[in-house]
Chains A and B, each alone.
Chain A
Amino acid sequence: MTVRKPSLIGDDIISIHVEDAAEAQAVAALLKQRLGPAEVEVVPALDSVAVYFDLMTDEPDAMLERCTTALTQDRAKVPIGATMLHTIPVRYGGKVGPDLAAICVQLELSEEGFIARHTAKPFVAEAIGFAPGFAYISTEGLPSVSRLKTPRASVPAGAVGFAAGYTGLYALGGPGGWPLIGQTDVKLFDPDADDPFLIRAGHCVQFVVSER
């Protein structure tokens, strides 16, 4: 596992390159633990992790040092909770999944065939981003389709999108550029909960057909 030296990419941002999303999550969890919750934000992405720190209270060189030291720790020993599995019932197709039929035509699958592959096994949420709680779930076994040419102005919370080899879960309603294949009623975002976002990077999601 090659993890490059942390470097400054702004006056108050540090970046660390990693191999892949799984390593990004492991490094992010480790840094969160070591750097403390107060004045930092640790953000994992697909091949890097960024650390925002408070320049009023922390010197850049000291922060780089703390990151470097933290990264020498054995990552395997840090509990990262990455084995969380969520079962997400989905109402596929119809009014709530208006693009499913077109996707099936493109992939030369029946709707049943698509759904069978989509619910075949748990998939990993590789990253969260682009919108609050929006989860990128790497969906093996189903080929890529492209995003909508014109995004929808409004997509409901719980909408299930499918594009570019990922299933995208819209935790919050808002504009959406992903083709929609269905809808889940599971509350993906609850501002009053201790952990407001249900799905974190590294969690697994098992889709199941919802009882209508």
Chain B
Amino acid sequence: MLRVLQTNGQATVQGVPRRGYRDHGMPWAGAADAVSLGLANALVGNAPTASALELTLGALTLEFTASAVIGLAGAEADARTDDNPVSFHQTIQVKKGAVLTIGMPSVGVRTYLSVGGGLQVSMVLGSASTYPRAGLGGHQGRTLRVDDELAWGLAAKAVPHRETPAPLRPYLSHEWVLRALPSAETALLAPDVQRALFSDSFTVTPRADRMGIQLDGRPMALADPKSLKSAPVFPGTVQCPGDGRPFILGIDAQTMGGYARIAHIARCDRHRLAQLRPGDRVSFAEVSHDAAAASLRGKTHHLEQWQPGISLW
């Protein structure tokens, strides 16, 4: 078991999204950074979507009551087992009784802690991922608390020591260019506003979580403001709310929304949304459909050489 000794109240068990129920109002949930989840799992011999811990701005201390193999990927922070520094992106052996401490990252937001064998939690509608708003999945449908205990499955017999090749480690910074495409209501923006949307630099506000990320910058507004009927939305949809601040929907995004949909983040870049931090600068680069598909396939195939079956969502 691992037992939570300290937490900032924002850690959840996440794995693959809960697919197939958006027409029932069920958000996908799942790891916000699919790539980092896959990389963490690759270090410990797990399948790419095995359940892991998703930390938000770090700050987690765990005690291992049994020995384990673990891996760390995503936003990097100081990590120690019993005061011995351990590194991200390599297989870590943890002894029975060891205490793992993960600090706060200075760049990026979400850290993934994998355990060989995968965390054992109940499945709900085909996924073990936590959707805290509805109290579903993961560990009792909520973020972890002090004294929570989690078990893991049987690890592969002998987990070889691995280190994620440097070119595969996602590059995190405070400046982001996200590939995006026009969406349903982009044409309702005035031409100069459309141009600005795909060239301006925006700033991530403090309102950023798994549901979405609010951006500050030149106000976005429809040329002819009108009331729109609620329409289906997805992780990656960029909305234009009444206050003019674009809102990028995240992995826990609700299924319907009444705001104009002015852009859509290309699937190849959606995993990066998980690492946008308040104060970071963001711009949207418009790409063609062919380019978006090519980028997705290229990135996926590249990662698949290292972690077969890895998927971006």
Using a CB–CB cutoff of 8 Å, the interface residues on chain A facing chain B are 8-13, 15, 28, 37, 41-50, 52, 55-56, 59-60, 127-134, 171-175, 191, 196-197, 200-201
Q: Do A28 and B23 touch (CB < 8 A)?
A: yes
B171 interface hit (Cβ, 8 Å): no
A-side contacts of B230, CB under 8 Å: 45-46, 127, 129-130
Give bound CA distance, A28 to B232, whole Å: 12
Q: How many residues on chain B are close to A (CB under 8 Å)? A: 41
- 29 A-B residue pairs with Cβ-Cβ distance under 8 Å, sorted by A, are A8-B181, A9-B264, A10-B236, A10-B266, A11-B266, A11-B267, A11-B292, A15-B232, A28-B23, A41-B19, A42-B23, A43-B22, A43-B23, A44-B23, A45-B230, A48-B231, A50-B234, A52-B22, A59-B293, A129-B230, A130-B255, A130-B256, A131-B25, A131-B133, A132-B26, A134-B25, A174-B134, A191-B124, A191-B125
Interface flags, B292-307, vs A, CB<8A=1, else 0:
1100110010000000
Inter-chain contacts of A133 with B (CB < 8 A): 24-26
How many residue pairs between the two chains, A and B, have CB atoms under 8 Å in the bound complex? 126
Task: Give chain B residues whose Cβ lies under 8 Å from the Cβ of A28.
Answer: 23
Interfacial residues of chain B within 227-271, with CB under 8 A of chain A in the complex: 229-232, 234, 236-237, 254-256, 261, 264, 266-267
Q: From B24, B124, B261, B264, give the contact of A200 (CB < 8 A).
A: B24
Asked whether any CB of chain A lies closer than 8 Å to the CB of B96, the reply is no
Answer whether residue B218 sits at the interface, using C-beta atoms and an 8 A cutoff. no
User: How far, in whole Å, are A210 and B58 apart by their CA atoms in the complex?
Assistant: 49
Contacts of A8 in B (CB 8 A): 181, 289
Interface contact A130-B300, CB-CB below 8 Å: no
In the complex, what distance in Å separates the CA atom of A172 from the CA atom of B311? 30
Q: Which residues of A contact B25 (CB under 8 A)?
A: 128-134, 171
